Structure 1
């Protein structure tokens, strides 16, 4: 699949990358006069965005989430609160249900942290979304790294980095059993003549005896179109990659340049094989900021306009929590001592560039649009050239398109970039029918493949219930 001769014919995957918040990853741009992010509490904003994305044939709307405040920089949350660094942030799930009702094909990736509620309740929440969307739901599995979120939930800290993945393994394993094993495919009868809704003998309680999240339960929801939502993950550390290549169907790769990304793709292929999976079982996505306009000159003018509103200091506050390093303690040109901790290890590793000393001044220079991404700026043809070249050189399948000035940035992509990619045969001209998983992997693949750990784990025995089966 990754051979160069096949890459030129592959259709790219394009997701809009958003957040139910004022600020996402291009900090400060909410203040731009063309930006509408201040309407994030308005359901009409989200419905209009969903329709725009579906008209533009976007594969999905991917929603990030954060359950704590960024309070490492300066020893507190002042900078993050002042500049709306992913705070305030609202729950993404209610708006997904509304947007699903306003669209027919657009898929939705929802970020949700493991462990904050019992698997029993979490399973029902995502089954409900999958039902309401007719099978267009994905889950981005995150373990949570913010100590502020842990303290808000009654814990002292987010815990050790690798231990968080150990907990997530157990959590996800319990979810698989509820989604995949509690109700048989033929359990639901809906038989009006006999008054039997279900065959109780085909429904069983799951006894999950994991080390962290043991439970005994019958899944509260009948099987949804996909049963298990499409699984996303962004682990980039050794432990994170081990988790991602075991569970995920879509993996997010840091955009660290062609050579580093291509190397990561090869590493992922090796790890997939160790889990009995193949490259065909996953889709690999990288994030990118795109500024596209009818001409290069107009795109450059737009970029210059955006930069006048950007807040690199706000981006530094977010990076401080991602790395666990309080950058406010360093003078602008003082070398930063980066040590691996319990935050995002790949974020710490990404600070250095070719062995050069890392300084606060240097980090701020990398954030011209209030985020870590160096934007791709140009006409539709120039941006298409850049994205295609990157995808073909690295072997990735597509991109999460990070919002800048919203929703204008997504309208520009839909009206300018998408037609250019279509002309080159690198983007679809119509949606394929079916569920999210089918759109990604092919017709008839509603469910996890049989060799995925969600389908291969041992079946769990049912335990007796107090109510006898209905004859």
Structure 2
């Protein structure tokens, strides 16, 4: 008896900007990318993704600009290469209001926002979406972002992961270790909304953060949002093995993906977590149509709108290299820097010597990931190979032209994947964590480091223990007199 085929997880990959991974294609007549400021653009996209039973909308973010290319942000601005860019949190509630199952993976960097504040923002969205939120944990890689929050330059790569480890500890303490189960009573008769004896200050004092108090939000459906992570450096893999429930990798082929997925799953096991505790996604851009020939014509049409300058502006930020200073036909080599260290390594993983000209030709559309062109059967065959031979669980699908790329994938590829038993036609019940991992209850597993903090209630100081001053049952007039 053959085992059932592995379901392919499908995420749309987007960003609250005009040009995300395909520089210049916003100029295509059918593109609506320039409507990124319009809330209806986002609600329509969410409705479309739920029509295709996509698992989630994965929203990337940066808080800097791509100013390495020619030492200026001019090229990025001309081509709208990830600038202007809005806050990724803004449209989530509206998209949740027009859908019932679609998840939302939101990127937020640990380097620039205090964990006490971010924990509240994510808990709020987890409440409002009924448990459909994931946090893509990143450490910002752009020097321009660091300078604009008062640093001389970006924090070094490995130091960012040291900070991230403590950041996660703080958020886990707030989400899991602050409010006990049953702390919120909503008791109208007794006039008690929250039992203060079951709410605990976290008393965190570390190298980077000091957070003495308790979480501002009551427990949300998932408490801790699903933890996504992007980064395949050795430190990134170690971080993911400990924390991530889904990981986003860059690979040029199923063969290179297989090396990464085997390494990651071995590290997950070494970290004491179950083999299925982490799902792995890779980035692809799919251009499809009713036939291979139709898809190829569409690709060539889209490519005619692509911008070489915009692509090199993006790659300048991703690699830390000013491509304008390089011979366009000299092979690129991986360099040690504090940008996206794995970007050039991923290009060279197949043993191919990429040049600047190759980047323009192969990644003006697709950005950090490969472009897959073909009809429904060709695309489905390729996706199955990435899963069966490459070891990935699913894909972050970038667009060449939005929303056409998404609609084409749903209309042409999703039905073929469903025929093969690879794509869901509906949704499992429950929270995003339950849908992705199949876990009941929606909370992190006991093997996850966040779970450690929910076992620390007993014997800890509560808000009721720490209370002082006027007794809670004193008349209001006495309290006012005492305050005076």
**TM-score normalized by structure 2?**
0.93
Q: Match for residue 398 of structure 1?
A: 394
Question: CA shift at 1:28, angstroms?
Answer: 0.8
Q: Match for residue 175 of structure 1?
A: 171
Question: CA shift at 1:127, angstroms?
Answer: 0.3
Residues 1:231 and 2:227 aligned together: yes
Q: Match for residue 75 of structure 1?
A: 71
Q: Which stretch of the first structure deviates more once superposed, 438-447 or 57-66?
A: 438-447
Quick one: structure 1 residues 333 and 198, their matched pair in 2 at CA, closer, same or farther if it must change by over 3 Å?
Answer: same
Q: Match for residue 242 of structure 1?
A: 238
Question: CA shift at 1:246, angstroms?
Answer: 0.7
Radius of gyration: which is bigger? 2
1:408 is matched with which residue: 394, 401, 404? 404
Q: Which stretch of the first structure deviates more once superposed, 181-190 or 310-319?
A: 310-319
The aligned runs of 1:289-328 (5 Å cut-off) are: 289-328=285-324
Q: Match for residue 456 of structure 2?
A: 459
Q: Match for residue 429 of structure 1?
A: 425
Quick one: structure 1 residues 186 and 297, their matched pair in 2 at CA, closer, same or farther if it must change by over 3 Å?
Answer: same
1:168-200: CA deviation from partner (whole Å, max 9, x where unpaired): 110111000000011001100001111110111
Q: Match for residue 62 of structure 2?
A: 66
The aligned runs of 1:80-99 (5 Å cut-off) are: 80-99=76-95
Q: Contact conserved, 1:325 with 1:338, CA < 8 A, in 2?
A: no
- CA distance in 2 between partners of 1:142 and 1:342 (Å): 13
- CA distance in 1 between partners of 2:383 and 2:366 (Å): 22
Question: CA shift at 1:356, angstroms?
Answer: 5.4
Q: Please give the secondary structure, in 2, of the residue aligned with 1:350.
A: helix
Question: CA shift at 1:276, angstroms?
Answer: 0.6
Q: Match for residue 39 of structure 1?
A: 35
Quick one: structure 1 residues 76 and 430, their matched pair in 2 at CA, closer, same or farther if it must change by over 3 Å?
Answer: same
Q: Contact conserved, 1:314 with 1:370, CA < 8 A, in 2?
A: no
- CA distance in 1 between partners of 2:332 and 2:404 (Å): 37
- CA distance in 2 between partners of 1:323 and 1:198 (Å): 50
Q: Match for residue 252 of structure 1?
A: 248
Q: Match for residue 146 of structure 1?
A: 142
- CA distance in 2 between partners of 1:27 and 1:152 (Å): 24
Quick one: structure 1 residues 427 and 264, their matched pair in 2 at CA, closer, same or farther if it must change by over 3 Å?
Answer: same
Q: Which stretch of the first structure deviates more once superposed, 183-192 or 357-366?
A: 357-366
Q: Contact conserved, 2:366 with 2:400, CA < 8 A, in 1?
A: no
Q: Match for residue 119 of structure 1?
A: 115
**TM-score normalized by structure 1?**
0.95
Q: Please give the secondary structure, in 2, of the residue aligned with 1:16.
A: strand
Gaps of 5+ in 2: 474-484
1:260-317: CA deviation from partner (whole Å, max 9, x where unpaired): 2111111112111221112210111111111111122211111111010011331121
Q: Match for residue 481 of structure 2?
A: none
Gaps of 5+ in 1: none
Question: CA shift at 1:331, angstroms?
Answer: 2.6
Q: Match for residue 383 of structure 2?
A: 387
Q: Please give the secondary structure, in 1, of the residue aligned with 2:125.
A: helix
Residues 1:105 and 2:104 aligned together: no
- CA distance in 2 between partners of 1:410 and 1:161 (Å): 34
Q: Which stretch of the first structure deviates more once superposed, 112-121 or 20-29?
A: 112-121
- CA distance in 1 between partners of 2:183 and 2:190 (Å): 15
Q: Match for residue 15 of structure 1?
A: 11
Question: CA shift at 1:414, angstroms?
Answer: 1.4
1:229-256: CA deviation from partner (whole Å, max 9, x where unpaired): 0000012110111111110000112123
- CA distance in 1 between partners of 2:331 and 2:252 (Å): 21
Quick one: structure 1 residues 441 and 298, their matched pair in 2 at CA, closer, same or farther if it must change by over 3 Å?
Answer: same
- CA distance in 2 between partners of 1:102 and 1:258 (Å): 36
- CA distance in 2 between partners of 1:98 and 1:466 (Å): 42
Quick one: structure 1 residues 151 and 337, their matched pair in 2 at CA, closer, same or farther if it must change by over 3 Å?
Answer: same
